Structure 1
Amino acid sequence: MNKSSDNLNEKEIDDLKYFAQILGNIKLDGNSSKSSQIYALLRQAIIWAKLQPGSPINEKALAKSLGVSRTPVREAIISLCNEDLIDIFPHSGIFVTNVSRGMFVEGAIIRKQLEIAGVRHAAQHATVTQIEDLYTLHYKAERLAKREAWNEYVAVDDALHHEISKISGFKKLWRMIREAKAHVDRLRHLAAPIPGHLGNVQEQHLKVIEAIELGDPDKAEAAMVAHLDYSHEMMKELIEEKFSTIDD
């Protein structure tokens, strides 16, 4: 990471140090565009609550910290703005969006419908190898749950849902699910795991996989709906308990 503070004022130097702390010793590679890599870095930092709701984003300091021009940073910020993860206020600044009840509810509804379509098709098309892959992810998540390795567990949880969407055969499905559930994921990281929650989720995942293995789309849909309804209801309760000042 480029730590040079040339041409930065005192506030921007502070922001440079802040981004270095948040993003760590990140070096962009040449395998994909700089803007797409910066987008992924910022998105994860927002979803994982490293960049808290309302946090300012200093475009110049961020570009300096990553050793790039402001153009790819601006492109990444615009993409995140389109996902309602960043707000741009002309003459005021750029900020991480606040957590919103409305965006959470909307995202949960859209995600549910997309996941239902995906799991029904997965139950009709899954191969033996694909089902084995689902079980492998499930048992990996189980081990992480027992260790209470929260961030690693969430990554494997996402991988399991991603795999189901791939099995469905819909190439754009996971991208749409991922975008729809962004604010659900933010709340999940802000609230920290609830005692007993991961054990319940593991049981629900297993029922989804077993229904896919049976090739029964109705059972797969019912299992997925039960899982998502449970998770979303837990998040609603957290909104009321821990985020009483959350935006509408």
Structure 2
Amino acid sequence: MTRPDFPGIGGAAKIAVNANVPASTLVFEELRARIVSLKLPPGTILNRADLAEAFGVSQSPIREAIQRLEEIDLVMSYRQSRTEVTRINRERLRYESFLRCGMECEVVDRLCRAPGADLTKAMGYLKMQEVLAGDTDQIELFRELDENFHEELFAAAGYEAIHRLVIAQSSQMARLRTLDLPRGDKMHSVVEGHRAVIDCITAGDRQGAADAMRVHLSGTIGRLDDIMQANDGYFT
């Protein structure tokens, strides 16, 4: 088990800039981002007092953020003991994969039936990914662009709120993708998947778009056994 390094995690200044957002939400979003990116890997012990000091807040928003992380199975708190980042739950992975695939296939279907939908931002993110594909030194930016691409598809279809729901319920899959992505061929595969989806949408090919999205989203879960074998300590 490891203890996290919190320098630069964000303190009172960051929360002041986001004055309209509850402190507990800022803490939750930052901790979730660090957990799904594996900067806080499974087994990491989270000390509430250390977190409160790092964020420049009282322990109340820390407690609320941890409760939200528990709800999505990213941490487990032991009474009067410790809070620990969980291992990746294989059964929840399958649930999350099913949920995300179903929602995203429906989104591309809606976009195919809305020829006026604005895909400009999604296509812009795709072009940036094409430039970065294969450069594993840019993996963090590539991962961010990946999420931005999918978010813009939801936005173009008018379902931003649904995207937030899907992301909130896909934390285990996010960790799995983090383990799978640092491969040059995986980056190219992501780009090819995004391109296939966009091409089908612009052609109005509803079945093709759904099939392309399904294939795109199934790549990582299809490699689950290999990923687990290479990272045994990260899984339940």
TM over 0.5: yes
Partner of residue 27, structure 1: 14
- Give percent identity, aligned residues only: 26
**Aligned mate of 2:53, from 64, 67, 86:** 64
- Of 32-41 and 228-237, more deviation after overlay is shown by 228-237
Call closer, same or farther: CA 1:194–1:147 in 2, change over 3 Å.
Answer: closer
Aligned partners of 2:119, 2:234: CA distance in 1, in Å? Answer: 40
Aligned partners of 1:108, 1:95: CA distance in 2, in Å? Answer: 24
Partner of residue 196, structure 2: 207
C-alpha contact 1:126 1:167 (8 A) present in aligned 2: no
Call closer, same or farther: CA 1:206–1:191 in 2, change over 3 Å.
Answer: closer
Partner of residue 4, structure 1: none
* Equivalent AA in structure 2 for residue 134 of structure 1: A
5 Å-filtered alignment, 1:145-224, equals 145-148=133-136, 149-224=138-213
**Aligned mate of 2:108, from 119, 123, 133:** 119
**Aligned mate of 1:140, from 125, 128, 132:** 128
Aligned partners of 1:237, 1:180: CA distance in 2, in Å? Answer: 24
- Of 24-33 and 71-80, more deviation after overlay is shown by 24-33
C-alpha contact 2:35 2:85 (8 A) present in aligned 1: yes
C-alpha contact 2:130 2:191 (8 A) present in aligned 1: yes
* Equivalent AA in structure 2 for residue 120 of structure 1: D
What is the CA-CA distance between 1:173 and the residue it aligns to? 1.5
For residues 75-97 of structure 1, give each alpha carbon's deviation from its aligned partner in whole angstroms, at most 9, with x where no partner exists: 11111111111112212211111
Unpaired runs of 5+ in structure 1? 1-14
Call closer, same or farther: CA 1:202–1:18 in 2, change over 3 Å.
Answer: closer
Call closer, same or farther: CA 1:242–1:122 in 2, change over 3 Å.
Answer: same
Residues matched between the structures, number? 231
What is the CA-CA distance between 1:180 and the residue it aligns to? 2.9
Aligned partners of 1:225, 1:69: CA distance in 2, in Å? Answer: 44
What is the CA-CA distance between 1:182 and the residue it aligns to? 1.3
Aligned partners of 1:170, 1:191: CA distance in 2, in Å? Answer: 28
What is the CA-CA distance between 1:44 and the residue it aligns to? 0.6
Matched, 1:98 2:54: no
Call closer, same or farther: CA 1:189–1:231 in 2, change over 3 Å.
Answer: closer
Call closer, same or farther: CA 1:159–1:78 in 2, change over 3 Å.
Answer: same
Aligned partners of 2:40, 2:219: CA distance in 1, in Å? Answer: 27
Unpaired runs of 5+ in structure 2? none
C-alpha contact 2:134 2:184 (8 A) present in aligned 1: no
Call closer, same or farther: CA 1:160–1:56 in 2, change over 3 Å.
Answer: same
Call closer, same or farther: CA 1:78–1:40 in 2, change over 3 Å.
Answer: same
**Aligned mate of 2:78, from 81, 89, 92:** 89
Aligned partners of 1:113, 1:60: CA distance in 2, in Å? Answer: 40
Call closer, same or farther: CA 1:192–1:157 in 2, change over 3 Å.
Answer: closer
- Of 105-114 and 189-198, more deviation after overlay is shown by 189-198
Aligned partners of 2:233, 2:44: CA distance in 1, in Å? Answer: 16
Q: Secondary structure in 1 aligned to 2:77?
A: strand
